A and B are shown apart, each in its own frame.
Chain A
């Protein structure tokens, strides 16, 4: 007779099954793709791992990339709780970065902490307003939020380029148009000299945990689940649907804007076009891989950050183009969605397991009857 705890473990592990299968098929397809290209496929796999998690330096590189991914993924995952697919995180990120970069120019000289807080608030306001606009357009004007947020993102990138190369450009930045560099006092440092990752990582993890508490334990989070589940029920209950949807959009946008602030004040030192590096797009993948679960985002962001971090190593050691990691991401995303088809089955299997394995027929005759029916 099989032990009930084994059954419970299986019930807990089942939801992860589609994700695991997706990762497995991704690995197989990626190796096949490289073999067809007559590339050294068998070396690529271990190298991806080595470049992502093989050394302290690799870990630092990975986590440095994971930090903005956690925040841009929240920009997708929070609105997704209310049933929206927002894909304009890139625009919120660059506008947030720009807002953070110009705040010290427009405010009087302040000590470091108040200034950093002001920069963070400015970045979150810029990002929150931009994504909030997508949500507003959807609720009030019926504009599809996926296309709307993407168009707004393109517009944001155009505004960003125009301002950085025009009115806000530092005349001393010759080759790479930038805003004036941040005063060194306003730059965010690393967590410690032996752990060379900037504080954005802490911000990302904290934001994800807060988001989890918010959607899991708050009344608003519970209402969101109703809003995301069905368009009619929340109206019948009299829930303020528009306000709830807007709230998730503003919070998500604020997270993406904050990612821009950390990129400016901890990595670039000023706002320039290096901010447009695809963190917003990769955040979409992270959020979907985590099934919009805030804690899952932390794990998935680290995995994807590692994938991106290993790109340099693949380029140097095997001479693979930098688009290799982009392909790998694409295959991964396709597989994650395709294996999602299995999740209804896993639900059935869970119920079956509960009925047949955990609850022994003799002691819980009643429940087995129910699960049969």
Chain B
């Protein structure tokens, strides 16, 4: 009995790592891109919620969940561009502006999303990788959403793009040393605005995953701080897109501990187990950060380091 319990628990953990980790993956890739350009966007949390609402609403109105995902990305792009443009003004603190964007994004989503709490929108499809098994639990655990594979591919594309393309090099130059980029004739502000915008797009897609796949509904308690944890996750991943993938899976697994324990009948401390991702994030930051030196791999212009 105990052995089956353990295997069910591990299976739920694995499934959760992918299921809960996918939005982490998208948001952290977006944040990674933004931070490579030398800015921090805490507002991804607000973008995530706006994206979730937009994706759900468009999917419901148009009948196509993929159109919803795209619209969610566009809403994220718009908010990301706002962040990028306003933070390019002198004396505007990007961290403080991110907090403002959280307020605005959630307010916007709650305001416009009131009418979409009740109706049910068409969901994103998933690929049944567990077709070989007779066990329904294995089958449901191995139902993996298409967006996860897109996210994995994206991590590798970004990894290559940041190293091997002109665009990637310019972005990293702007993020590492603004003056040299300027000396070469690149305008730092423009590059950063673009990076923040694209980062916002990815966070919007992550939000659409929340409302259109897992948990798979739109309500006001949908996000639990994934957008903010992504900032810590990127630090953990040392600003490497492929590391973001592993980190997102780890955080997904941490977030799945609570539900996985419930699956085997342990209801005690539900809230405490749900806080594991936060504790993990904090622990990771305590272990990796040092007060006397900046982290290896950190973009030089990042306000975290100053």
Residues of A within 8 A of B (CB): 85, 87, 137-144, 146-148, 150-152, 154-155, 158-159, 161-162, 165-166, 281, 284-285, 288, 321-324, 326-331, 333-334, 336-338, 340-341, 343-344
Q: Out of B89, B96, B107, B289, which one reaches A144, CB within 8 Å? A: B289
Q: Out of A140, A146, A328, which one reaches B291, CB within 8 Å? A: A140
Q: List the A side residues contacting B105 at CB < 8 Å.
A: 330
> By the criterion CB–CB under 8 Å, are A165 and B279 in contact?
no
B263-306 interface code vs A (CB 8 A; 1 in, 0 out): 00000111110110011011001100111100000000000100
Q: Out of A148, A152, A340, which one reaches B91, CB within 8 Å? A: A340
A-B contact pairs, 30 of them (CB 8 A): A85-B95, A87-B99, A139-B291, A141-B289, A142-B290, A147-B232, A147-B281, A150-B225, A151-B232, A151-B282, A154-B275, A158-B272, A161-B271, A281-B103, A322-B110, A323-B111, A329-B103, A333-B99, A333-B100, A333-B103, A334-B101, A337-B93, A337-B96, A337-B97, A337-B100, A338-B89, A340-B91, A341-B89, A344-B90, A344-B91
Q: Out of A141, A159, A166, which one reaches B286, CB within 8 Å? A: A141
Q: How far is the CA of A308 from the CA of B100 in the complex (A)?
A: 17
B104 interface residue (CB < 8 Å to A): yes
Q: How far is the CA of A334 from the CA of B282 in the complex (A)?
A: 28
B153 interface residue (CB < 8 Å to A): no
Q: How far is the CA of A344 from the CA of B91 in the complex (A)?
A: 8
> By the criterion CB–CB under 8 Å, are B271 and A165 in contact?
yes
Beyond A323-B111, A344-B90, 14 additional contacts (C-beta under 8 Å) are A139-B291, A141-B290, A142-B290, A151-B229, A151-B232, A159-B272, A326-B110, A330-B101, A334-B101, A336-B100, A340-B91, A340-B92, A341-B90, A341-B91
Q: List the A side residues contacting B271 at CB < 8 Å.
A: 158-159, 161-162, 165
Which residues 50-83 of B sit at the A interface, judged by CB distance below 8 A? 82
B195 interface residue (CB < 8 Å to A): no
Interface of chain B: mostly helix, strand, loop or mixed = helix
> By the criterion CB–CB under 8 Å, are A327 and B104 in contact?
yes
Q: How far is the CA of A324 from the CA of B270 in the complex (A)?
A: 32
Q: List the A side residues contacting B285 at CB < 8 Å.
A: 137, 141, 143-144, 147-148, 151
Q: List the B side residues contacting A152 at CB < 8 Å.
A: 282
> By the criterion CB–CB under 8 Å, are A338 and B111 in contact?
no
> By the criterion CB–CB under 8 Å, are A85 and B282 in contact?
no
How many residues of chain B are within 8 Å of chain A by beta carbon? 48
Q: List the B side residues contacting A165 at CB < 8 Å.
A: 271
Q: List the B side residues contacting A338 at CB < 8 Å.
A: 86, 89, 92
Answer whether A321 and B89 are a contact pair too, CB < 8 Å, given A139-B291, A162-B272, A337-B97.
Answer: no
B114 interface residue (CB < 8 Å to A): yes
**Which chain A residue has the least Cβ–Cβ distance from B113?**
A323
Q: Out of A87, A142, A162, A166, which one reaches B289, CB within 8 Å? A: A142
**Which chain A residue has the least Cβ–Cβ distance from B306?**
A231
Q: Out of A150, A158, A330, which one reaches B107, CB within 8 Å? A: A330
Q: List the B side residues contacting A343 at CB < 8 Å.
A: 91
Q: How far is the CA of A87 from the CA of B45 in the complex (A)?
A: 14
Q: How far is the CA of A329 from the CA of B82 in the complex (A)?
A: 17
**Which chain B residue has the least Cβ–Cβ distance from A138?**
B291
Answer whether A341 and B92 are a contact pair too, CB < 8 Å, given A87-B99, A143-B285, A155-B282.
Answer: yes
B231 interface residue (CB < 8 Å to A): yes
Minimum CB–CB distance for B268 against chain A, Å: 8
> By the criterion CB–CB under 8 Å, are A158 and B274 in contact?
yes
Q: List the A side residues contacting B114 at CB < 8 Å.
A: 321, 323
Q: List the B side residues contacting A87 at CB < 8 Å.
A: 99
